[in-house]
């Protein structure tokens, strides 16, 4: 064994308690770091899953236009001085062409049309407000994974009958509707249709469950008293949802309509996510750095205690870098033990917690073994340990043996 | 006789708390196999001179030759290698590593030197301990021994690499007369039998009187050589 390593390990084992305290510090810091970061990934994943149940990756729609001055004249004032929204239909003109244009973008996997309208649901004397979403059932199912939220009936039945409807569990409860029942839907345009309930879904978001329903695209167009080219939104799915915002500019260019990414559409939620990320990152790093301080402290103490040893080692021919190696070996040993222990502790914690049922929108505790976070934790942990060890080691290497011997 | 240590015009100043000229143009030579002692009142500069000779103190002007090589101006790593190979140290305090066995303590400089295998070093360390009458204490940890024994272990450690020079700062300062005699006789034997050089700073007149040569210092200058 190398003599420097030999000395380092003797120091480590001759003061087991101190070593254990330092190891425990790293172990705890490491496990909390990995745990919290894995949790963050889990949170984001579940949040995204629930967002993508109602929001497409990218939505293409016709934005309201503000009237422009009739004559643009830089020198004098414009003729229209009170700009207003131009009254026009919110339909996407010639939507099939627009769809094929959007499909040309290499990242796009799916484009599907949608008509949204606010309506009243009536059974007998009860009338409640709600929203219908006219979709192409198969494509909408791929886009929003509606099938996974169905608690009764089958979403696939929607495409069999043009006069069928899939309703939220809240709507079903309020109107006491079951599979096979009829529901009367009246639109703002005064069109009334009788639709048959084929599926009931429950998203765990009660506002959605109490108002949202899915019907066939053509039925929705009829309810709006429009022909079969009337479409309010095009929903776009992309290969990498995380990067959706980067594609929106391209899609706007391609199609000539406004394209909006899911992050823009959920700005408030995204702000909360960012907040959460900052807090968790800050806390987890702080804990690791505190563990680093632990190592630093203990090593500093060892250096002070062993100052005579350092002096004689230098006198008998140990170089400055040998002394650095002795103390750095100690620090890194503590670090490696702590990191390995921390990984095991984090894995144990995750194993236990992912079996805990939380309920609501989340279900099981949203955490998984995130390999990338384990690797990240190991790297960060070892880097912090290195610096926490290097500073005292450097100090030890700088000890002037003469000043010790002459005391 | 061949020269092993030589100084030319060594000057050294202390600046703290006030500027003080501690060594003034010190020039002398030590031959191989010589048992040299340095005496003088405290503050005369004898310890300061010893630490310059030891290469651990590099803050001086003048020239220092060890084994006919000018070592003044070498970097710290190179000096460390010279110490490792050519110089053994014995101080008033033993400076043993308390967690290690006596054997391991003796082996340390040789393990650093890496000229022999661990097995051979261990054998050699036993020999050195035997020389100082401590073979039976070899596997005890250093902090379990008496003061005299510890000092003898420290001497064994200084001898492990068969250095050309052994430098001692008050080697018998903490020892009783019996242990002092053991240490002195060992040193004497080394100079005679092994042709090793001893340079010892001491307050002990008796000790100094029996050495080959005594250098007396005062106010940073060598005032007397006694053979």
Could you read off the pLDDT of A8-52 as tens digits, one per residue? 999 999 889 989 999 999 999 999 999 999 999 998 888 888 888
Radius of gyration of chain A from Cα atoms? 32
pLDDT for position B156: 94
Q: Any CB–CB contact under 8 A between B14 and chain A? A: no
CB-based contact A317 B89, cutoff 8 Å:
no
pLDDT for position B153: 93
User: Which residues of chain B make contact with A403, given a CB cutoff of 8 A?
Assistant: none
Place of tokens 């100084």: B7
Query: How many CB atoms are located within 10 Å of the residue B167 CB?
Result: 27
pTM of this structure = 0.80
> Whole-number mean pLDDT of chain A?
89
CB-based contact A317 B95, cutoff 8 Å:
no
ipTM confidence score: 0.94
Provide CB contacts within 8 A for A180, sequence distance 6+: A196, A197
List residues bridging with A175 in a β-sheet: none
Q: Are residues B88 and A331 in contact, defined by beta-carbon separation less than 8 angstroms?
A: no
Q: Residue A16 and residue A13: Cα distance in Å, rounded?
A: 5
Question: Strands A233-238 and A58-61, how do they pair?
Answer: antiparallel
Using DSSP, state whether A75 is helix, strand or coil. Answer: coil
Of A89 and B179, the structure prediction assigns the larger pLDDT to B179
Q: Where are the domains of chain A?
A: 3-50+270-405, 58-63+88-262
Q: Any CB–CB contact under 8 A between B54 and chain A? A: yes
Residues B179, B183, B186, B187, Cα dihedral to 10°: -160
CB-based contact B77 A321, cutoff 8 Å:
yes
| A-B C-beta contacts closer than 8 Å | 66
Q: Residue B66 and residue B75: Cα distance in Å, rounded?
A: 15
Structural domain including B65 reads 3-226
| Backbone phi and psi for residue B99, each to the nearest 5 degrees, phi listed first | -85, -10
Q: Are residues A212 and A118 in contact, defined by beta-carbon separation less than 8 angstroms?
A: no
Average pLDDT over residues A281-303: 91
Query: Tokens standing for B114?
Result: 């890496």
Q: Are residues A133 and A114 in contact, defined by beta-carbon separation less than 8 angstroms?
A: yes
Using DSSP, state whether A80 is helix, strand or coil. Answer: coil
pLDDT for position A78: 61
- pLDDT tens digit sequence for A391-401: 999 999 999 99
Average pLDDT over residues A314-326: 94
> Which of B80, B96, B111 comes nearest A314 by C-beta?
B80
CATH number of the domain bearing residue B84: 3.40.50.300
Average pLDDT over residues A285-289: 91
Q: Which chain B residue shows the shortest CA-CA distance from A405?
A: B91
pLDDT for position B16: 84
C-alpha angle B163/B167/B171, rounded to 5°?
125
Tell me which residues of chain B have a pLDDT lower than 70. 1
Lowest mean pLDDT segment, chosen from A81-85, A92-96, A268-272, A386-390: A81-85
Average pLDDT over residues A288-293: 90
pLDDT for position B35: 94
Query: Tokens standing for A316?
Result: 């008998």
Q: Residue A394 and residue A396: Cα distance in Å, rounded?
A: 5
pLDDT for position B28: 92
Query: Tokens standing for B146?
Result: 């008496």
pLDDT for position A325: 95
CB-based contact B89 A402, cutoff 8 Å:
no
Region for B27 from its dihedrals, namely left if φ exceeds 0, alpha if ψ lies in -120 to 50, beta otherwise:
beta
CB-based contact B83 A406, cutoff 8 Å:
no
Query: How many CB atoms are located within 10 Å of the residue A359 CB?
Result: 8
Using DSSP, state whether A244 is helix, strand or coil. Answer: helix
Q: Residue B5 and residue B199: Cα distance in Å, rounded?
A: 10
pLDDT for position A76: 67
| Backbone phi and psi for residue B225, each to the nearest 5 degrees, phi listed first | -105, 125
B69-95 as b/e: b if 16+ CB within 10 A:
eebbebeeeebbebbbbbbbbbbbbbb
pLDDT for position B38: 94
Q: Residue A243 and residue A221: Cα distance in Å, rounded?
A: 32
Q: DSSP letter string over A85-133?
A: BPP-----TTHHHHHHHHHTSTTEEEEEEEEEEEEEEEETTEEEEEEEE
Structurally, how many domains does chain B consist of? 1
CB-based contact B109 A316, cutoff 8 Å:
yes
Place of tokens 């009246």: A186
> Which of B76, B89, B100 comes nearest A316 by C-beta?
B89
- pLDDT tens digit sequence for A357-376: 987 767 788 888 999 999 99
- pLDDT tens digit sequence for A117-174: 899 998 778 889 999 999 999 999 988 888 888 898 888 888 888 899 999 999 998 8
DSSP tag of B129: H
């Amino acid at each position: 064994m190398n003599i420097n390593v030999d000395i380092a390990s003797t120091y480590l084992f001759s003061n087991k308690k101190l070593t254990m305290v330092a190891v425990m510090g790293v172990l705890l810091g490491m496990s909390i770091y990995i745990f919290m970061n894995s949790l963050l990934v889990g949170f984001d994943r579940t949040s995204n899953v629930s967002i993508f149940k109602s929001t497409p990756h990218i939505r293409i729609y016709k934005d309201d236009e503000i009237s422009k001055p009739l004559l643009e004249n830089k020198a004098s004032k414009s003729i229209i001085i009170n700009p207003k929204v131009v009254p026009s239909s919110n339909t996407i003109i010639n939507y099939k062409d627009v769809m094929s244009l959007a499909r040309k973008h290499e990242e796009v996997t799916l484009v599907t049309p949608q008509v949204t309208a606010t309506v009243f649901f009536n059974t007998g004397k009860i009338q409640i407000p709600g929203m219908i979403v006219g979709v192409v059932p198969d494509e909408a199912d791929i886009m929003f994974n509606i099938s996974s939220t169905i608690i009764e009936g089958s979403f696939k039945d929607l495409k069999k009958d043009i006069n069928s409807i899939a309703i939220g569990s809240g709507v079903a409860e309020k109107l006491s509707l079951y599979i096979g029942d009829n529901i009367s839907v009246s639109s703002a345009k005064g069109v009334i249709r009788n639709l048959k309930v084929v599926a009931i879904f429950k998203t765990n978001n009660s506002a959605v469950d109490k108002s949202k329903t899915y019907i066939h695209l053509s039925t929705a167009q009829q309810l709006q008293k429009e022909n079969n080219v009337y479409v309010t939104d095009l929903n776009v799915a992309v290969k990498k949802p995380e990067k959706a915002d980067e594609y929106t500019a391209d899609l706007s260019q391609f199609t000539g309509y406004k394209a909006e990414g899911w992050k823009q559409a959920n700005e408030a939620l995204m702000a909360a996510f960012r907040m959460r990320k900052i807090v968790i990152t800050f806390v987890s790093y702080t804990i690791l750095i505190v563990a680093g301080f632990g190592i630093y402290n203990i090593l500093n103490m060892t250096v002070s205690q062993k100052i005579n040893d350092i002096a004689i080692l230098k006198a008998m021919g140990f170089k400055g870098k040998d002394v650095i190696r002795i103390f750095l070996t100690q620090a890194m040993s503590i670090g490696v033990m702590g990191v390995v222990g921390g990984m095991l502790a984090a894995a144990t914690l995750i194993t236990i917690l992912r079996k805990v049922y939380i309920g609501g929108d989340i279900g099981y505790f949203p955490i998984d073994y995130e390999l990338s976070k384990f690797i990240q934790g190991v790297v960060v942990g070892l880097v912090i340990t290195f610096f926490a060890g290097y500073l005292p080691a450097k100090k030890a290497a700088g000890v002037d043996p003469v000043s010790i011997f002459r005391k | 006789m061949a020269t092993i240590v030589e100084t030319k015009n060594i000057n050294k100043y202390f600046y703290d708390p006030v500027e003080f000229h501690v060594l003034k143009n010190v020039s002398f030579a030590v031959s191989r196999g010589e048992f040299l002692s340095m005496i003088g009142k405290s503050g005369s500069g004898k310890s300061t001179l010893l630490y310059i000779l030891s290469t651990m103190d590099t803050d001086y002007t003048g020239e220092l030759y060890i084994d006919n090589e000018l070592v003044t101006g070498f970097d710290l790593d190179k000096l460390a290698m010279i110490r490792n190979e050519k110089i053994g140290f014995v101080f008033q305090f033993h400076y043993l590593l308390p967690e290690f066995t006596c054997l391991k303590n003796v082996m340390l400089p040789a393990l650093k030197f890496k000229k022999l295998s661990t097995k051979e070093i261990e054998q050699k360390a036993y020999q050195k301990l035997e020389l100082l009458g401590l073979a039976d204490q070899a596997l005890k940890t250093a902090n379990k021994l008496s003061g005299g024994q510890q000092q003898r272990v420290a001497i064994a450690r200084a001898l492990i690499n068969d250095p050309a020079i052994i430098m001692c700062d008050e080697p018998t300062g903490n020892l009783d007369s019996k242990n002092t005699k053991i240490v002195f006789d060992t040193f004497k034997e080394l100079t005679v039998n092994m042709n090793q050089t001893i340079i010892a700073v001491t307050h002990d007149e008796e000790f100094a009187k029996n050495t080959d040569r005594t250098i007396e210092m005062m106010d940073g200058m060598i005032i007397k050589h006694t053979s």
